[in-house]
Amino acid sequence: MSRFTKQQKTYALISTPHDSQSKLQNLSYLPPSLIPLRDGEVIIFRRPDSPYWHCRFKRQNKWERFSTRQASIENAVQVACEAYDEARFRQRLGLARKAPNFTEIAHATLYELRRDLDAGIGKSVYASYITCIEKYFMPYFQDKRLEDLTYTDIAEFEIWRNRQMKLTPKASTLMNFASTWTKLQNVAIYKGWLSERASIPKLTTRGMKSKTRPAFSREEVDSLLKFMESWCLEGRLEIERLTRPLLRDYVEMLLLTGMRHGTEALNICWNNIEWHTQGDKKYLRIWVNGKTGGRWLIAKHRAVDVLKRLHSRQKAVCEIPFERLFERRAKERIFVLPDGHQPQRIDGAFKRLMRDSGLGMNAEGEQRTLYSLRHTYATLELIENKIDIHTLAKQMGNSAAMIERHYSKLTPMMVADKLA
């Protein structure tokens, strides 16, 4: 007769590290209330009020307790051992005790994006990242774990996303999604939720080539500037009478500098503007910080008139003589309403301007946006002022290769006098 009880046999079988399947099959005995695993490092137990086995083990001198959600002892042992192994793995890598789900990572990323935008240090593309996360990533992945996603999961997400968008995304849109995906991973890594060595499937970046946004011709620019002089004074509502003059100045400044609409332009403060002297000539230069980092750009001389209008309407700086404004290094933003408030979205006012002016579409029926103003600047500089591509690239914060790729078709027009 064996000197061991059934309970003692059970302890002996499952307290050995890395139990074999054959030993797990022998756990058909009525289990005791506490069962040690992995040489006592892990304990599974049953509560009187629950049909499931529970588990506990120590990690960094703290007890971790959870339900295995398993009524079968064999399955409970497997779940408990896998959880213990993962906890030890995460501890060796210096990761958080528990990997948060996708929604938690998404909320942390959204917080960082909005914080940087509010502080004026976020890139303009962050607004697109926020849309990608809130409208597509979060609704789809929800409580899934980032590190558990497979290539099949990503492929199925992309099919779902395209159906939601009701179109085939262009290459630039896919790049935004891919960059957002990388941002999510970087936040998770920084917070210790994800290992740098984790293999996360990438999103597709190949798509339809983007079309260059439609520009305004010189005649259309002159017509638009003339139209805005009276249009900005004709608002029926008070908010329109405040917003329209601001939009007029915003549109003119984009046309006079080529800066990017959004974070690059809207975050300019008075202390980002100064006079630059070269010999006996004086130029207005503006420091902008956006998609490609910070840079100085030179504004057209007519930009001074725009700045004077902005200065005259702002309560915070209007008492400072304009001639001394740049020396005072005022920290207020320039594109704000008289009370210092900056409209959340200026795009809507621009759409109404396009509708009222009749300039919303070009001859090919393509819709114009605020980004068309930057394209207009580049086109006119190349055609009218014969600016070389490398100088224009530095002014606009682009690579020369990108400028050449988008505007190479203008080259014959630029040298028409030599070709004719």
In order, the DSSP letters of 333-376 are BSS--TTS---S--HHHHHHHHHHHT-SB-TT-PBP-THHHHHH
Last residue of a domain, which of 72, 92, 112?
A: 92
In a domain, 206, yes or no: no
In a domain, 213, yes or no: no
126 in the same domain as 31: no
302 in the same domain as 268: yes
In a domain, 377, yes or no: no
Q: What is the pTM of this model?
A: 0.57
For residue 36, report the phi and psi dihedrals to the nearest 5 degrees.
-85, 140
In a domain, 71, yes or no: yes
186 in the same domain as 85: no
238 in the same domain as 341: yes
Residue with tokens 């006592």: 40
In a domain, 404, yes or no: no
358 in the same domain as 244: yes
Q: Supply 312's token pair.
A: 């005259």
* 3-state SS class at 292: coil
Q: What is the pLDDT of residue 122?
A: 79
Distances (CA, A) of 185 to 122, 181, 194: 18, 7, 7
139 in the same domain as 87: no
Q: Supply 9's token pair.
A: 């046999």
Q: Based on the structure, what is the number of domains in the chain?
A: 3
Q: What is the pLDDT of residue 12?
A: 39
345 in the same domain as 259: yes
Last residue of a domain, which of 174, 190, 206?
A: 190
Q: What is the pLDDT of residue 60?
A: 66
In a domain, 382, yes or no: no
Q: Could you tell me if 343 and 246 are in contact, meaning their C-beta atoms sit under 8 angstroms apart?
A: yes
- H helix runs in 191-302, sequence order: 218-231, 238-257, 263-266
* 3-state SS class at 171: helix
Last residue of a domain, which of 352, 369, 386?
A: 369
279 in the same domain as 180: no
Q: Supply 21's token pair.
A: 């399947």
138 in the same domain as 44: no
Which residue stretches of the chain have pLDDT < 70? 1-32, 60, 93-98, 207-212, 405-406, 408-420
In a domain, 242, yes or no: yes
76 in the same domain as 19: yes
In a domain, 395, yes or no: no
Q: What is the pLDDT of residue 301?
A: 94
Chain centre distance of CA 201: 19
109 in the same domain as 63: no
Quote the domain boundaries for residue 150: 102-190
Q: Supply 177's token pair.
A: 């999604």
151 in the same domain as 83: no
Q: Could you tell me if 141 and 157 are in contact, meaning their C-beta atoms sit under 8 angstroms apart?
A: yes
